[in-house]
Amino acid sequence: MATAPQPTRDDFAKMLEDSLGGEEAFEGRVVTGRVTGIENDMAIIDVGLKSEGRVPLREFAPPGQKAELSAGDEVEVYVDRVENANGEAMLSRDRARREAAWDRLETEYNDTARVEGQIFGRVKGGFTVDLGGAVAFLPGSQVDVRPVRDVTPLMGIPQPFQILKMDRKRGNIVVSRRAILEETRAEQRSDLIQSLTEGQVVEGVVKNITDYGAFVDLGGIDGLLHVTDMSYKRVGHPSEILSISDTVKVQIIRINRETQRISLGMKQLEADPWDGVMAKYEVGQKATGRVTNITDYGAFVELEDGIEGLVHVSEMSWTKKNVHPGKIVSTSQEVEVVILEVDEEKRRISLGLKQAQSNPWSDFAERYPVGTIVEGEVKNATEFGLFVGLEGDVDGMVHMSDIAWGVSGEEALEMHHKGETVKAVVLDVDAEKERISLGMKQLDQAPEGAAALSVGSGVRKGDVVTGEVVDVRDGGVEVSLDGGVTTGFIRRSDLSRDRDEQRPERFQVGQKVDALVTGFDRSKKPNLSIKALQITEEKEAVKQYGSSDSGASLGDILGEALGKAKDDGKS
């Protein structure tokens, strides 16, 4: 079989002449030529002009690779000039590839299509990419969805890019690899999120840890594992139980398919320690726990993994009031507490620290019954009495009327000062109200004529008593009972039923008055009322001698009652 003759130089010339219409039309065009020889690193190419051109071999191979070219191969080259000073044609393979690439890339750019290229070099601010002849710029921020420290593994590998911008006149092309990855990732996220369901248990890898939780990669989409869903026990910071790159098993709690947000949980895979908590912890039961957190309002105590209770500041100490909880307990301290309240629905347990210790007021009452003489330091002097520090870190109060005989309360207070050591008699102990009443004057002999009164005895509410006015003040009058052993106070509003008679100045020291015991103050001193006595007597008189409804006037009724009282007295 005969071999077809190879085209000659004249044939190329004629073909070019026919297609281009003369040598002057060659310049600025891409033409087909034939390699006639290889000299060193140059290829000799005949394009049908008067002279051949020389093109570096590196222009016939991708960056960093060796050209595979031999005599007789046909190639496309760009004719820069028909003839240079040496009489040779100025040809360029790079320019030919670039022109062809620009034509193709412009079409793909207009169609927003992906283009294939290879990263082959590093420049300031990014990298260079070969797009099949045209060189594009890849900014560092567009390499990946996350910052990439080492791009070496990505270089020289054909991969897709998205053209962000191109300007043929300036020869500028900007591409992005990140846009391709984000688009692919979005597709994967959409497919993945459709395959997930709430309650599903999946595995993931911890990607990032923040103060409020951790982000877990579920294989193309991230879910948030909030710190409160990591464990039933208190977690100060997510890093306490998780590290980046950890593989964890989680449960999908919520999925928002519109925003593609996924909430995850770890503790949901464990048994809830609060189930049946009321059976395990009964009110009044003692328990031991560890202090996990201290706040201004109390301390949290962990009774077991996942079960915490709050010791309110008011339940921390019997004697230390208005003290920051941090001064009573410390973090990680083991403490004994008493269960005060359990609310399984709200997942709350109220604890008491002081209840696990004996009540110092009850202890004091056992060791020092009423009538016992005690000694202590005056901790504070107020306008109504002295506070004395006693054994067991408790305070007792000496009312100013119980400091000394024969002087007013104000004068008695001036006789003592803070820091002084004094002796007193225990008058009363109220453990429930945390009060101890003391008396100092009871240690001394009562004034002559005063009736003996055993400590702890006295008047009762509702009794009618007769006393002697010992002090007149703007707010009322102080009355001595039982020869001065006990004193009571009648407030201004209780001096009379008639408002015009509610004037303390109408009473004189030494005057005898009758009054009704209406109650007791903090120091167990009786509160007296002349007004209440008058009302009581009036009611009794009306009950015995008739009512005003029967036609008798109130004056007639009281007159008859007084008359009967006189007759009874004569008989």
- Average pLDDT in the 229-238 region? 86
Q: Per-residue pLDDT for 96 more than 90? A: no
Among the ranges 38-52, 300-314, 475-489, which has the highest mean pLDDT value? 300-314
Q: Please, which residues have CB within 8 angstroms of residue 30's CB and are 6 or more apart in sequence?
A: 76, 77, 78, 79, 96, 99, 100
Whether the predicted pLDDT of 153 surpasses 50? yes
| pLDDT exceeds 50 at position 571 | no
Q: For the segment 188-225, what is each residue's pLDDT rounded down to a tens digit?
A: 777 788 888 888 899 989 989 999 999 998 877 888 99
What is the enclosing helix (H) or strand (E) of 92?
A: strand 90-92
pLDDT, position 551: 44
Among the candidates 356, 375, 402, a domain finishes at 356
Residues 287 and 345 in one domain: yes
Token representation of residue 568: 């009874």
Residue type, 185: R
Neighbouring-strand partners of residue 469: 479
Nearest to 515 by CA among 532, 492, 498: 532
Query: Can you give the residue range of the structural domain that contains 365?
Result: 360-445
Instruction: Look at residues 62, 7, 68 and name the one whose alpha carbon lies nearest to residue 32.
Output: 7
Q: What is the spatial distance between Cα 204 and Cα 247, in angstroms, rounded to a whole number?
A: 6
Residue 513, token pair as written in the block: 């008055």
In a domain, 547, yes or no: no
Q: In the prediction, which pLDDT does 457 show?
A: 40
* Per-residue pLDDT at 26 exceeds 80: no
Residues 212 and 164 in one domain: no
Kindly state the tokens that stand for 307. Answer: 């079960």
In a domain, 458, yes or no: no
Q: Is the pLDDT of residue 381 over 90?
A: no
Report yes or no on 403 lying in a domain. Answer: yes
Instruction: Please state, for a pLDDT cut of 90, what percent of the chain lies above it.
Output: 22
Q: State residue 97 phi and psi, 5-degree precision.
A: -65, -40
pLDDT at residue 187 in the model: 77
Report which residue type is found at 499: R
Q: Does residue 313 contact residue 350 with C-beta atoms inside 8 Å?
A: no
In total, how many domains does the chain have?
6
Classified as helix, coil or strand, 402 is: helix
Residues 6+ apart with CB under 8 A from 255: 193, 196, 197, 198, 261, 262, 263
Tell me, yes or no, whether 102 lies in a domain.
yes
Quote the CA–CA distance of 525 and 473 in Å, as a whole number: 17
pLDDT at 318: 85
Q: Among 356, 389, 405, give the residue marking a domain's end.
A: 356
pLDDT mean across residues, the chain:
81
- Tokens, residue 354: 């002081």
- pLDDT at residue 321 greater than cutoff 60: yes
Q: Rounded to whole angstroms, how far apart are CA atoms 336 and 314?
A: 16
pLDDT at 458: 59
Q: What is the pLDDT of residue 13?
A: 55
CA atoms within 13 A of residue 333's CA, in its CB half-sphere: 15
Whether residue 19 lies inside any domain: the answer is: no
Contacts of 395 (CB under 8 A, 6+ apart): 379, 387, 388, 389, 436
Instruction: For the chain, state the CA radius of gyration.
Output: 53
Domain C-terminal end among 324, 356, 388: 356
CA distance 435 to 433: 6
> Is 187 within the bounds of a domain?
no
Q: Torsions phi, psi of 348, nearest 5?
A: -130, 140
Write the CATH number for 203: 2.40.50.140
> Is the pLDDT assigned to residue 123 strictly greater than 60?
yes
